[in-house]
Amino acid sequence: MGTTRVTLTFSLSANLESLFTWNTKQVFAFVTAEYETAKNSLNQVSLWDSIIPDKDQANVQVEVKSKYPLIDQGTSLRGKKVQLVLHWHIMPNAG
């Protein structure tokens, strides 16, 4: 059984300004590739991440080569529907 390794380029356009309030120190944003296999209903592989330090930099417009490769042990990924999903975590100033 072989290994599948995928590196891809994608464009990301997201306005995350509304995540910044009086209590937001920074936002950790990341993109995952998500897919289903016979063994797992949800597989998530991180492809890109970034720390957004303030509201002035929260309008994200990037075209990036995936920071981390999508690696599948075997052939369970072949022919699967893979969704790219943007996630974020808000890091507060206090609390």
18: Cβ contacts below 8 Å, ≥ 6 apart: none
The three-class DSSP label of residue 17 is: helix
The whole-model pTM stands at 0.84
pLDDT in tens, 10-51: 999 999 999 999 999 999 999 999 988 777 888 888 889 999
Binning the chain into helix, strand and coil, the percentages to the nearest 5 are 5, 55, 35
CATH number, domain 3-92: 2.60.40
Q: Can you give the residue ranges of every domain in the chain?
A: 3-92
